[in-house]
Amino acid sequence: MAVDNRRVQQTTLSNGLVIVTETMPHVRSVSAGIWIRTGSRCETPELSGISHFIEHMVFKGTSRRTAEAIAREVDSVGGMVDAFTAKEMVCFNTRVLDEHLEAVFDVLADMVLDPLFPEDEIARERSVILEEIRMVEDNPEDLVHEMFSQNLWGHHPLGRPILGTSQTVGSFDRAAIDSVFCRRYAPDNIVITAAGNTSHQQILDLVAPRFGNRKPAAPAVAARAEAPPVPLAELASRSKRELEQVHICIGVPACSIADPRRYAVSVLNNLLGSGMSSRLFQNIREKQGLAYAIFSDTNHYRDAGMLTIYAGTSLETAERLINSVTKELRDLKENGVTAEELRRCKANLKGGTLLSLESTGSRMSDLARQFLYFGRYTSPEERIAAMEAVTADEIQQLAREMFQPSRTAAAILGNLNGFQLQAAHLAC
């Protein structure tokens, strides 16, 4: 037993699979997740999107259950099974009443361990995912963020779309799917987490018979690691005449998820554009009326990160909005943050941290991300203490390091009518 932090316990099986649980005896539900250390950044250019494709295909039947049987068994007990693919992980998860955990976990494990990948379902799901790719093309907010990510990370795998492209998805066959599945869905690439009205021993008893006899990945697969990305300060413009608004994404590289400065980045992001009291919302939406939606966000990966600012506005006010955003960035660099503003941001982050952990699903996900990236459990109290320790001087220094014209990338999408984004627009 590696960890026993009151309600949080961890066990690592002999084949490398990690099991982490948190007991919440005051609830009636249990959330469980099977997390795979893979994702779009683990793919070659020719196989871009295959992790997401496999995530879809896992629901299409096993040797014991058809796709319909999978859905029916979960629905019959009022449970939920879901999945998602990200840049650095794939997750299959369930939320169910405690009395039905064993039955639904059996379904979840069966899907992950024994998918059949039927040829006819591969053809059918290819069409579904091609429609999903077209849906991104039709959603300007999603599309401009995708443009920005590809711009910032260039040819690095982090810059590729999670869904892949119509060309790559159109090329996937049974052999490619089987090959990637066998390599990446090995037990030493898996973390299983559960939170709710359950015990660590109950989860061990569910996991060990199903996963314990699986062999770990071959050494070459287990050791494979992508090089860290080198961010690019590129500008991208794309005209879509049918759009009413101009959609703008401006951003800079940020620290990795393991960097101690991530707490300062969270505070900086919060005061800049996370919420209705943030500087971007108050000064650009409320005082100037330049946008309905404007916010900032952060994404942290194991060896990189980014902070992005998004806004939608009219073509006539696009340049003024960009100038207003860069003015806010300059102000943070030159004047820093007041003590009262810093206090409000920390209180907001503390409340958000604690409120986000009130459900079994969020607890289960939180456990997984901590063990996937850090290999250990950090309590909410420890994280809040780290945020409380962030100083105004740290925020200002971080702003000076991050918000430099030579590090700033941007993407703009809309009926541009000849408007071109220039480096001079981003002189922060």
Summarize pLDDT for 223-268 with one digit per residue, the tens. 455 688 999 999 999 999 999 999 999 999 999 999 999 999 999 9
- pLDDT given for residue 6 in this prediction: 58
Neighbouring C-beta atoms of residue 98, cutoff 10 Å: 16
- Reported as a single tens digit per residue, the pLDDT across 258-272 is 999 999 999 999 999
- Reported as a single tens digit per residue, the pLDDT across 168-221 is 999 999 999 999 999 999 999 999 999 999 999 999 999 999 999 999 987 655
Does 234 qualify as catalytic in the annotation?
Answer: no
Q: How confident is the model at residue 3 (pLDDT cuts 50, 70, 90)?
A: very low
Residue ranges of the chain that CATH labels 3.30.830.10: 3-223, 235-426
- pLDDT given for residue 1 in this prediction: 32
- pLDDT given for residue 425 in this prediction: 80
Q: How confident is the model at residue 428 (pLDDT cuts 50, 70, 90)?
A: confident
Q: Which CATH number fits domain 3-223: 3.30.830.10, 3.30.70.1140, 3.40.50.1380, 1.10.1040.10?
A: 3.30.830.10
Share of the chain above pLDDT 70, in %: 97
Mean pLDDT of the residues in the chain: 94
- Reported as a single tens digit per residue, the pLDDT across 296-336 is 999 999 999 999 999 999 999 999 999 999 999 999 999 99
22, 43, 55, 146: the catalytic one is 55
- pLDDT given for residue 48 in this prediction: 97
Second CATH level (architecture) for the domain 235-426: 2-Layer Sandwich (3.30)
